[in-house]
A and B are shown apart, each in its own frame.
Chain A
């Protein structure tokens, strides 16, 4: 597994930094140089960063807003704001993590505008029902072999768009964007236990919904 669920230091006093995954290392190669060039006014360097991350940022915006038009607005605003505030980026984190943070803020604002009073990350009541296991079916060794890549992308998008956004955002940041529990908690203004609890619920809900596609198929 390339981005297998990994152990991370959960104690904020632990001085050992989490080891970056191979994917993180390769994606951040050259990022620092591009950011420095962009900060110095090199428009081409900023465009390269946009080209590098636009697909991922659009997917994240889709995972938050669950709507193509809103996701487009969020992505545009995130890139425009990152350019406008580039001089404030101190390099304490990766540029991409900073961009994710801006995208999440824009996405949450969009959600709150769209559904005032209905989107609250911090007041979600979690029930024991969220932990109930309903479907128990084998998916076989590798469900991805049964679908074309584009069809798989569609299924995954549809399924994550079908769960409560307050769970879906946590899953998107932890398991898709590969942020740590602590980073996710900080970005969303949640406690670490709340992130862990929602991550578990999100994983179980997604598993249950994917069962519809990957559960035991009837013989032809």
Chain B
């Protein structure tokens, strides 16, 4: 397996979707290729950072306009 093949399999590998034989091949390559290890590690961290990040609070003005718009719609519906 070459470095290029590792990149092509990267997403499946990180998703745990590769079959056992392919997984073993990837890990054999990673054991001796520091460059690929770095790519796998930093890509894993990229996903981790995004999937664990909390959404920022809504800016007050944005939130206030949203609730005003909803209130108007709800009021119209109930009248």
Binding site for B on A (CB under 8 A): 1-8, 10, 43, 46-47, 50, 54-56, 58-59, 68, 72, 75-76, 79-80, 83-84, 131, 133, 136-139, 143-144, 149-150, 152-154, 156-157, 160, 171, 175-176, 178, 196, 199-200, 203-204, 206-207, 210-211, 214
Contact = CB atoms under 8 A, between A and B. Distances in A.
A10 B69 contact: no
B45 A76 contact: no
Contact-residue bracket for chain B: 35 or more
Interface in B1-41: 3-4, 7-8, 10-12, 14-17, 35, 38-39, 41
B8 A131 contact: yes
Contacts of A59: 55-56
Contacts of A4: 47-48, 51
A5 B35 contact: no
Nearest to A172: B50
Contacts of A176: 50-51, 53
Given A54-B58, A196-B12, A203-B11, 6 more contacts: A6-B15, A43-B74, A72-B62, A75-B62, A79-B69, A138-B41
Contacts, number: 135
Interface of A is mostly: helix
B56 A200 contact: no
Contacts of A6: 15-16
A1 B39 contact: no
